[in-house]
């Protein structure tokens, strides 16, 4: 760690359940290469023990520390002070948008998790389905089965916070859920998830703001997945117009 020290003011939006929210400033001396989450922890430890926030892995794998930093959704464990402010600057910390606030920076993610549960969002998938965008899917075949990989989505909720449709509509499935449907479903496989996507609260509610992909810290690219899912659903519909089989039987 270098010995440079910056004086930075953190203005944190505080709120106890059901009471009005207010902003509380904290002046800290920080190393600019430290992360926002480190500073929040230091504020909790040495300034105000009543500050509530979530944190766990500290290396962008668990998705717990999502917050809005100067209005932009970030994973605070990997957001360096240097990237959001300067010496003498101010950093505004607010909880994620579009989730009910439980206390201070902690929001209620239960609906979000339930939705992912409802579509059987996969956590591990064969490598062919879990590549990074643009990655070549040409992996060696091994005798004992397939290579598998953890799915990129860490369920941090930044995409929901950034989405303009989730802003006004609580019944919208949300980018993460739709991306999970796209990733976990093959044509003809798991049709009920497609029904959830092919719904006025599903893919057709997306307005192409692409903010979800812009804030996603984990390469899920939910916007591209939603568009791909639209293409698949439309192709299925158009095919069903011309095929003589009933709809259920076209799961090939």
Q: List contacts with another protein (CB under 8 A).
A: 21, 68, 70-72, 95-101, 107, 111, 114-115, 118, 133-134, 162, 164-173, 195-196, 198-201, 204-205, 207-211, 213-214, 223-224, 227-228, 230-231, 233-234, 237
Helices 222-242 and 175-184, packing angle to 10 deg: 60
Min CB(218)–another protein separation in Å: 17
CB of 5 or CB of 239, closer to another protein: 239
Min CB(3)–another protein separation in Å: 32
> Do strands 124-126 and 6-14 pair parallel, antiparallel, or not at all (unpaired)?
unpaired
CB of 11 or CB of 196, closer to another protein: 196
CB of 7 or CB of 237, closer to another protein: 237
Chain centroid to CA 127: 21
Min CB(14)–another protein separation in Å: 13
- Residue 102 sits at φ, ψ, to 5 deg, of -90, -45
CB of 41 or CB of 201, closer to another protein: 201
Min CB(168)–another protein separation in Å: 5
Q: How far apart are alpha carbons 78 and 128 in whole angstroms? A: 28
Chain centroid to CA 170: 16
């Amino acid at each position: 760690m270098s010995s440079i020290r910056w004086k930075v003011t953190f203005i944190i939006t505080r709120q106890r359940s059901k009471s009005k929210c207010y902003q509380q400033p904290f002046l800290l001396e920080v190393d600019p290469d430290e992360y926002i989450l480190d500073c929040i922890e230091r504020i909790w430890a040495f300034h105000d023990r009543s500050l509530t926030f979530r944190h766990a892995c500290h290396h962008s794998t668990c998705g717990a520390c999502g917050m809005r930093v100067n209005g932009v959704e970030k994973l605070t464990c990997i957001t360096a002070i240097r990237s959001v402010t300067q010496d003498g600057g101010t950093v505004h910390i607010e909880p994620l948008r579009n989730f009910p606030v439980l206390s201070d920076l902690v929001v209620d993610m239960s609906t979000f998790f339930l939705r992912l549960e409802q579509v059987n969002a996969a956590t591990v998938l064969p490598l062919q389905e879990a590549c990074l965008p643009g990655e070549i899917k040409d992996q060696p075949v091994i005798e004992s089965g397939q290579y598998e990989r953890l799915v990129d989505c860490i369920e941090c909720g930044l995409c929901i916070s950034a989405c303009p449709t989730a802003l006004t509509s609580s019944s919208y499935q949300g980018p993460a859920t739709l991306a999970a449907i796209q990733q976990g479903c093959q044509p003809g496989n798991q049709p009920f998830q497609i029904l959830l996507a092919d719904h006025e609260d599903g893919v057709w509610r997306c307005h192409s703001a692409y903010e979800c992909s812009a804030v996603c810290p984990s390469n899920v690219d939910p916007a591209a997945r939603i568009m791909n899912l639209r293409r698949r659903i439309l192709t299925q519909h158009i095919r069903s117009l011309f095929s003589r089989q009933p709809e259920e039987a076209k799961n090939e």
